[in-house]
Amino acid sequence: MLNIEDSILVVIDIQEKLVLASKYGTETAQNAVKLTKTANILNIPTIVTEQYPQGLGATLLQVKETLSPETFTCEKTSFSAMLTPEFAQRIQELKAQGKKQVILCGIETHICVLQTAADLIKEGFEIYVVKDACASRNKSEYKTGLSLLKQYGAKVTCVEITLFELLKTAKHPKFKEIQALIK
């Protein structure tokens, strides 16, 4: 199960043009906001990637507005974020701090989320793909991406499971604040 102390949130390419082109892109962005707000509340380090922002636009404003000042953001052109040296370095720094679980969301499930997850698994991370905070241009590619993620060893979850696994109990001091995100 997820633990606050062990976790990193990675938000992959929730950018203007990708959200518009993706099936359920708007819903994906709304769910990513719940994850970024949770990460802020629980002090979970967050990394955001942008795939070729000159062509695909910046991170969607509704997501960007929820990011803490400590959020690490990097541009990339590779499909796996791990092939971007700045991302790989930041992940390794967090791993050295004892972070071993990566909560992963983004667009597109079958390309950048899949390849990033596969490379993170090779690096020894536990991957939790939040399926209702992921999207692809069509349903078949999305479903195939999720299937492969499971085969590669990722755990496929959803926003509410993620939030409540992190909290563990209704007595957590941040419970009401987190619960308000899903009401």
- Residue 90 is encoded by which pair of tokens? 């930041």
- The 10s digit of each residue's pLDDT in 27-78 is 999 999 999 999 999 999 999 999 999 999 999 999 999 999 999 999 999 9
Q: Please determine, for residue 23, whether its predicted confidence score (pLDDT) is greater than 90.
A: no
Q: Exposed e or buried b for every residue in 46-66, given b needs 16+ CB within 10 A?
A: bbbbbbebeebbebbeebeeb
Omega cis (within 30) before 108:
yes
How crowded is residue 99: how many other Cβ atoms within 10 Å of its Cβ? 17
**Reported pTM:** 0.98
Cα 153–chain centre separation: 16
In the predicted structure, residue 183 carries a pLDDT above the cut 90: no
Q: CB-based burial of residue 82 (10 Å sphere; 0-12 exposed, 13-18 middle, 19+ buried)?
A: buried
The answer to whether 112 is a known catalytic residue is yes
pLDDT of residue 9: 98
- What DSSP assignment string belongs to 20-71? HHSTTHHHHHHHHHHHHHHHHHHT--EEEEEESHHHH-SBPHHHHTT--TT-
Catalytic pick among 13, 105, 131, 132: 13
Catalytic option among 34, 37, 105, 112: 112
Q: Can you tell me the distance from the alpha carbon of 48 to that of 25, in angstroms, rounded to the nearest whole number? A: 17
Q: Where are the beta strands (DSSP E) in the chain?
A: 7-12, 46-51, 72-76, 101-107, 126-135, 155-157
Q: For residue 36, what pLDDT is reported?
A: 98
The amino acid at 31: N
Residue 173 above 90 pLDDT?
Answer: yes
CB contact set of 97 (below 8 Å; sequence gap of 6+): none
**What distance in Å separates the CA atoms of residue 127 and residue 104, rounded to the nearest whole number?**
7
> What average pLDDT does the segment 178-182 reach?
96
- Number of CB atoms found within 10 A of residue 23's CB: 16
Catalytic site residue from 34, 76, 105, 134: 76
The domains located in the chain, with CATH, are 4-179 (3.40.50.850)
What are the tens digits of pLDDT across the range 85-123? 999 999 999 999 999 999 999 999 999 999 999 999 999
pLDDT in tens, 133-156: 999 999 999 999 999 999 999 999
74 is catalytic: no
User: Is 6 a catalytic site residue?
Assistant: no
